Amino acid sequence: MKNEIKKTAIVTGASRGIGLAVARQLGLDGYNVVMVATGCREKNSEAIAHLEGLGIAVGYVQADVSDHDDRLRIVGQTVEMFGRIDVLVNNAGFGKLGEFTQVPLDDELRMIDTNITALHILTKLFLKDFVKADRGYILNVASSAGLLPGGPLMATYYATKAYVTSLTSAIYGELKQQGSSVSISALCPGPVDTEFNSVANAVFPIEGIDAKQCADIAVRGMFSKELIIIPETRMKLAAAASGIVPRKLAVAVTGQLQSAKKQ
């Protein structure tokens, strides 16, 4: 499946929502796209056809990033398809609404494996090659939750996204110290109109932005080498305010917003 276009991007969780929108934008920017998603190729044929209909060269890897063997297989398969990888987008992730004592432990462990462990491993493995070649971009999809002090009723989700923003920021600093041309960014949106809500069993009290709009801003920010990319002004203000008000107050306000998400 080698292609004349040398630039290739890999996007996890690419079959819908922000992942599909980011894959679309990267494809329109001239990149081959390797979609990583659960389910066989036929299951996601509509998403693949959408990208191919735009003239985008698409590779597909069926993988569950919460599974250790699948995570390691992703690297080999993507390199085999197109040779070198220029962009990694760690988008796969999910949340669960509920009290910490009530959310099933298995759900939380799978969330940690998906939101943290997979992102950590893929970032490390691809970053080593990027640094060696002195080129490449990594976009880690976090959340505005990762910029806030904590989220009652979504405790584990908020904690996983705080990990993502912290890890990304640290790597960003290391790359700057090294004088590397490699860039890493964290996307921290507020509500986005995707299937996230139904998976989390939540209803957001404020209107979300369109996934395409979010993806356009994310890709531009990544290529501009921004560290933290926040698509919406209101979320930028909320993140700034969280660093000013007392932590207990910020947590209380966040908890009230989370309570409003209950279906």
Q: Among all residues, which ones are annotated catalytic?
A: 157
Rounded-to-integer distance, Cα 11 and Cα 58, Å: 11
What are 229's strand-pairing partners? 187
Rounded-to-integer distance, Cα 140 and Cα 95, Å: 16
